[in-house]
């Protein structure tokens, strides 16, 4: 072994220095400071993400596991839950739009993040703990050798270096270097979604004087803060996020199901994004004087994918390098939390002399099951009904309640070791998965039936559901009880029309009968009437 080979030997090489990679490095070095960890990062500065909000699990991970609470309070915004805005032909103004959201402030911490700033801070902390950073550098190939040293070819400082390490952590994001190289990457064709997003200036303040004077009753209806929530503007087959960032910029983007929405083809991408949004009264109000930042408009087609392999004896995939599902409900940073924690535990177990094979098998089984069940329980065909106020209000309360009690509460009650169990990966979660999958399918069917009958969006004007707020206390289950009662009423009043339709027939109906809709309102919007 010559001096050059020895100089490029490490215990762990992490490909990608953004949140998932840097967080994994922190977890490793805190537990075992003598580990030789190399982070290979291709960028000179981190860029934008599809979404920039945490929810409760990722808030726990950032605050109580990584120790970022003070930094987050100083450099980012506290998130005040989620809000949804619905419209139909009768909704002419922001005040007319049906609304779902919190009445008061949130009880459990979450944040609106400038991901480029957060990623830089977490990477800085990883380096301060002892990780070596090569930046900018690129990885051309990773050669795997189970149970032995892995070889990573890296171009850095105008030379190609062969780096050897016992473990490689792929944190390369959507580039998914290992999954693509090894042929493990599988697109999720059951969920063909596209995202278009940008940073904006000149967006109106949801809680500002202008809107409160223009719509006084609307302003008084909410006792909390609307502006620092993740505001979702929704339509048939699509939704948009509005996320404020520290310093005044606002992240706004659209995600749509390609089977249900025809994206405009003419004009610049930023103009098409604004034109699309301006058809919705809520967006038209807040974006009236807004402008997207030139050079900061992004497009990504066919969002969801998953690797068929998550780990082996010598490598592990974390964050978006392992899978991506959907930005709705902001699950991406929860996924980072679970994968980074589990990856660090797997590597440390090997370093402490444990047998790797059963740990790898369990890791692959847990994350494969989690991705599939998470998708089927929450996201499959959700775009069919997320633009319907009365359907979405019921599903939102069920989704949120089950997330709080089944997922978010676990680390707060059991500690950080709960992060070793991603959602739906353990036997006790199976009944909840089946229940969520069942009601998600039922509401998708009802939405398809409404579209065929020409009654889409009938409650999308003049309705408001303001929720007092969820906690981990048993008393917070009451909204779920009321949601179940509303579901029963919906089944009795209209759901019976779809009781005897086969799943396959409904799926074919979605693909063949549903015509893409270019804007927020359905083609038959003129016939839609409000139902109290």
CATH, residue 41: 3.50.50.60
How far apart, in whole angstroms, are the C-alpha atoms of residue 494 and residue 509? 18
| Cβ-Cβ contacts under 8 Å for 143 (sequence gap 6 or more) | 150, 151, 152, 153
Please indicate, yes or no, whether residues 182 and 200 belong to a single structural domain of this protein: no
Q: Given 335, 359, 377, which residue is the final one in a domain?
A: 377
| pLDDT for residue 528 is more than 50 | no
Q: Would residue 428 count as lying in a domain?
A: yes
Please indicate, yes or no, whether residues 456 and 340 belong to a single structural domain of this protein: no
Please indicate, yes or no, whether residues 49 and 135 belong to a single structural domain of this protein: yes
Q: Given 284, 301, 318, which residue is the final one in a domain?
A: 301
How far apart, in whole angstroms, are the C-alpha atoms of residue 322 and residue 174? 9
Which CB contacts under 8 angstroms, 24+ apart, belong to 276-279?
276/519, 277/233, 277/240, 277/252, 279/235, 279/519, 279/520, 279/521
Q: Would residue 64 count as lying in a domain?
A: no
Q: Which of 47, 49, 103, 56 is CA-nearest to residue 79? A: 56
Please indicate, yes or no, whether residues 137 and 229 belong to a single structural domain of this protein: no
Question: 98 and 459 in contact (C-beta within 8 Å)?
Answer: yes
What was the pLDDT predicted at 506? Answer: 52
CA 385 to chain centre: 18
More confident residue, 522 or 476: 476
Please indicate, yes or no, whether residues 32 and 169 belong to a single structural domain of this protein: yes
| pLDDT for residue 107 is more than 50 | yes
Question: 275 and 267 in contact (C-beta within 8 Å)?
Answer: yes
Q: Would residue 59 count as lying in a domain?
A: no
Please indicate, yes or no, whether residues 338 and 477 belong to a single structural domain of this protein: no
Q: Which domain holds residue 242?
A: 78-109+190-301
Arithmetic mean of pLDDT, 250-269: 95
pLDDT tens-digit readout, 421-458: 999 999 999 999 999 999 999 999 999 999 999 999 99
Q: Would residue 355 count as lying in a domain?
A: yes
Q: What is the CATH number of the domain that holds 196?
A: 3.30.9.100
Please indicate, yes or no, whether residues 94 and 202 belong to a single structural domain of this protein: yes
Please indicate, yes or no, whether residues 172 and 27 belong to a single structural domain of this protein: yes
Q: What percent of the chain has pLDDT over 70?
A: 92
pTM of the model: 0.92
Q: Would residue 27 count as lying in a domain?
A: yes
Return the beta strands (E) in 114-258 as ranges.
132-134, 137-143, 150-156, 159-170, 185-187, 193-201, 230-235, 238-244, 250-257
Question: 348 and 31 in contact (C-beta within 8 Å)?
Answer: yes
How many domains does the chain divide into?
3
């Amino acid at each position: 072994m010559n001096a050059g080979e020895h100089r490029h030997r490490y215990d762990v090489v992490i490909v990608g220095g953004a949140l998932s990679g840097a967080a994994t490095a922190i977890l490793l070095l805190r537990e075992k400071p003598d580990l030789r960890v190399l982070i290979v990062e291709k960028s000179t500065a981190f860029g934008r993400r599809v979404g920039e909000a945490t929810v409760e699990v990722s808030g726990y991970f950032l605050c109580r596991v990584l120790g970022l609470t003070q930094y987050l309070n100083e450099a980012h915004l506290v998130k005040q839950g989620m809000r949804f805005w619905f419209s139909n032909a009768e909704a002419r103004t922001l005040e007319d739009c049906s609304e779902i959201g919190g009445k008061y402030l949130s009880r459990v911490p979450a944040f609106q993040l400038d991901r480029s700033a957060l990623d830089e801070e977490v990477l800085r902390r990883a380096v301060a703990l002892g990780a070596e950073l090569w930046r900018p550098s690129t990885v051309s190939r990773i050669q795997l050798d189970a149970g032995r040293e892995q070889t990573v070819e890296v171009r850095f400082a105008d030379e190609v270096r062969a780096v050897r390490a016992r473990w490689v952590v792929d944190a390369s994001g959507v580039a998914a270097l290992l999954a693509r190289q090894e042929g493990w990457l599988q697109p999720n064709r059951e969920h063909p979604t596209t995202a278009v997003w940008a940073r904006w200036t000149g967006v109106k303040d949801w809680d500002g004087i202008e809107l409160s004077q223009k719509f006084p009753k609307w302003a008084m209806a909410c006792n909390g803060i609307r502006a620092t929530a993740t505001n979702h503007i929704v339509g048939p087959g699509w939704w948009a996020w509005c996320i404020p960032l520290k310093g005044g910029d606002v992240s706004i983007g659209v995600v749509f199901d390609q089977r249900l929405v025809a994206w405009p083809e003419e004009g610049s991408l930023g103009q098409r994004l604004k034109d699309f949004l301006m058809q919705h009264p809520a967006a038209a109000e807040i974006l009236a004087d807004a402008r997207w930042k030139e050079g900061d408009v992004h497009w990504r087609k066919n969002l969801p994918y998953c690797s068929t392999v998550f780990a082996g004896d010598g490598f592990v995939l974390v964050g978006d390098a392992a899978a991506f599902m959907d930005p709705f409900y902001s699950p991406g940073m929860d996924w980072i939390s679970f994968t980074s924690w589990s990856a660090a535990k797997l590597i440390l177990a090997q370093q402490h002399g444990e047998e790797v094979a059963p740990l790898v098998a369990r890791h692959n089984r847990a994350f494969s099951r989690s991705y599939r069940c998470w998708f089927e329980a929450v996201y499959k065909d959700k775009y069919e009904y997320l633009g319907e106020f009365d359907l979405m209000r019921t599903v939102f309360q069920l989704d949120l309640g089950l997330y709080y009690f089944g997922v978010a509460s676990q680390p707060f009650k059991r500690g950080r070791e709960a992060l070793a169990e991603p959602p739906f990966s353990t036997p006790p979660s199976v009944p909840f998965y089946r229940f969520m999958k069942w009601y998600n399918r039922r509401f998708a069917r009802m939405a398809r039936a409404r579209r065929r009958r020409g009654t889409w969006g009938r409650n999308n004007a003049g309705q408001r559901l303001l929720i007092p707020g969820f906690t981990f206390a048993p008393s917070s289950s009451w909204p779920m009880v009321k949601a179940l009662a509303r579901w029963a009423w919906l089944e009795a009043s209209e759901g019976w029309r779809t009781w005897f339709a086969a799943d396959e027939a409904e799926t074919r109906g979605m693909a063949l009968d549903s015509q893409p809709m270019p804007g927020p309102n359905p083609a038959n919007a003129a016939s839609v009437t409000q139902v109290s």
